[in-house]
Amino acid sequence: MTNEQRGFSTRSVHAGEARPNPYHAVTTPIVQTSTYTFDDTDDVRAFKEMQRAGGRPKRGEYGRYGNPTSWAVEEKVAALEGAEDALLFASGMNAQTTVLLSFLSPGDHLVVTRDLYRKTRQFANTFLRRLGVETTYVPVADDEALARNLRPNTRLVFTEIPTNPYLRVVDLARTAEIVHQAGARLLVDSTFATPYNLRPLEHGADLVVHSATKYLGGHNDLLAGIVLGPAELIEPLREAHSMLGGVVDPGCAYLLLRGLKTLALRMERHNENGLRVARFLAEHPAVESVYYPGLPSHPDYERAVRQMRGFGGVVSFEVKGGMEGVKAFIDALRVPLIGPSLGGVESLVEQPALMSHYELDTAERLAIGVSDGLVRYALGIEDADDLIADLAQALGRVA
């Protein structure tokens, strides 16, 4: 039985794991070394000749070029995503920026959807601009706007699915068709979806990126990113990776490998909690609006249902009373911790106006849709009844 014929949980546990492991250990060991040795000069020559011929010998040379613990992670996530190849990075941002730097040159054009991670927008507006790459921002899920803004020099189109913080969901197959007709490639950040809920490569995406810090790791205890796709696109990234040096420590890779084994179990609970909490919030009088693709009121509900197995554990919503209303609400919560990030077993809550977008002036923040009353709740795997009871008592503090 091949990996693709096995169930998701079976692949989560077994894919990428060598058998037998060194010392016949059940788990893949942490290979804690910065360099690797050779038996003799003939061994060195054979290794280099295999590399010159385009092969990838399964042994190390130097820590910046790869590590057996990291290779196991790459193979496991590739099996879950249905990808030919994968490459692990030190963070999700490091993964994104390496892709952008590798596939864009001076004079090229990048198109991104507006509801994109703020640091990605900053990278495009600063580093890419200085390198002579122009960026155009288009509305999410607007096929006409996307097609209208593609140019002969457009090399990449970059979107998230679902987006942050409004959880918009593009029609991936239609987006890929438009992008490919223009001769460009489609890069998708699928961090919020995970391979459990959606596999963008099956819908026409060329490359998929994840912040493995989030759901893939799942325990709020590591930083990592990963890019997946066909070998012909991953190979130039591997070359850039060895030069830019965004490598993951083997101890971190081990934590990620361990977290991945329970991904399906955790995502089932995240999906359940997300839907139950979204439905509760949609009926509460202190909540003005709820943004969750599993609700029929969401503008992308139909395409989300068509493309996704579940909708994840992030729920964004507007609390009445503006800045003061959100302050009263968040300070009254007892289960979630106040902090950025998402996808871990612990629930986290934040007010974007006060945290992720605080340095923007009010007019600029409102222009990109981040209101005073917006809350992003990244639900963990606690009991939904406890989360809802806590929300009810905290919303009772909102005037």
Active-site residue (options: 108, 115, 189, 206): 189
* Cβ 218 vs Cβ 195: under 8 Å: no
Please pick, among 155, 199, 214, 376, the residue that the annotation labels catalytic: 214
The yes-or-no answer on residue 189 being catalytic is: yes
By the 8 A CB rule, do 207 and 187 touch? yes
Q: How far apart are CA 342 and CA 162, in angstroms?
A: 13
How far is Cα 236 from Cα 207, in angstroms, rounded to an integer?
A: 13
As given in the structure block, the two tokens for residue 381 are 């795997």
Shortest CA distance to 12 belongs to which of 220, 193, 196? 196
* Cα atoms in the Cβ-side hemisphere of radius 13 Å centred on 357: 26
Tell me, yes or no, if 64 is annotated catalytic.
yes
Structure tokens at 225: 């990113």
The verdict on whether 215 is a catalytic residue reads no
Q: At what angle do helices 92-103 and 231-244 cross, to 10 degrees?
A: 110
Catalytic position from the list 64, 114, 174, 279: 64
Catalytic pick among 85, 117, 185, 376? 117
Residues carrying an active site annotation? 64, 117, 189, 214
